[in-house]
Amino acid sequence: DAKTTQPPSMDCAEGRAANLPCNHSTISGNEYVYWYRQIHSQGPQYIIHGLKNNETNEMASLIITEDRKSSTLILPHATLRDTAVYYCIVRSGSNDYKLSFGAGTTVTVRA
């Protein structure tokens, strides 16, 4: 799986959008970008994934650059409950079962 690079930490004001960057310059054509988050003392939670098109669900939006070498996770209206470690993961399709987590980005939402 391609390696990802994320900033170690970032702060965000409550109610504002949080934009979390991820670099994956060695991504290959059949690899998807996944985002998970882990709130303190809980297991990781799936957020969203995409291949090349931008994706949106009830939790977040995922913007993938045209060359697919980077992506941005957008939390549109951050709340205090969004404080967590966010992991950007690249993996291939259905036959690739394991998730390779890096250190992630620690996001702190401040009131």
Partner 1 sequence: DTGVSQDPRHKITKRGQNVTFRCDPISEHNRLYWYRQTLGQGPEFLTYFQNEAQLEKSRLLSDRFSAERPKGSFSTLEIQRTEQGDSAMYLCASSPRAERTYNEQFFGPGTRLTVL
Q: Which stretches of the chain bind partner 1, using CB under 8 A?
A: 32, 34, 41-46, 49, 51, 85, 87, 93-94, 97-104
Report the alpha-carbon distance of residue 89 to residue 76 in Å, rounded: 21
In this structure, the strands spanning 45-50 and 55-56 are: unpaired
* CB nearer to partner 1: pick between 41 and 111: 41
CB 12 within 8 A of CB 76: no
For CA atoms 30, 96, 35, 69, the dihedral sign is negative
* CB nearer to partner 1: pick between 14 and 96: 96
Q: How far is the CB of 53 from partner 1 (least distance, A)?
A: 13
* CB nearer to partner 1: pick between 81 and 94: 94
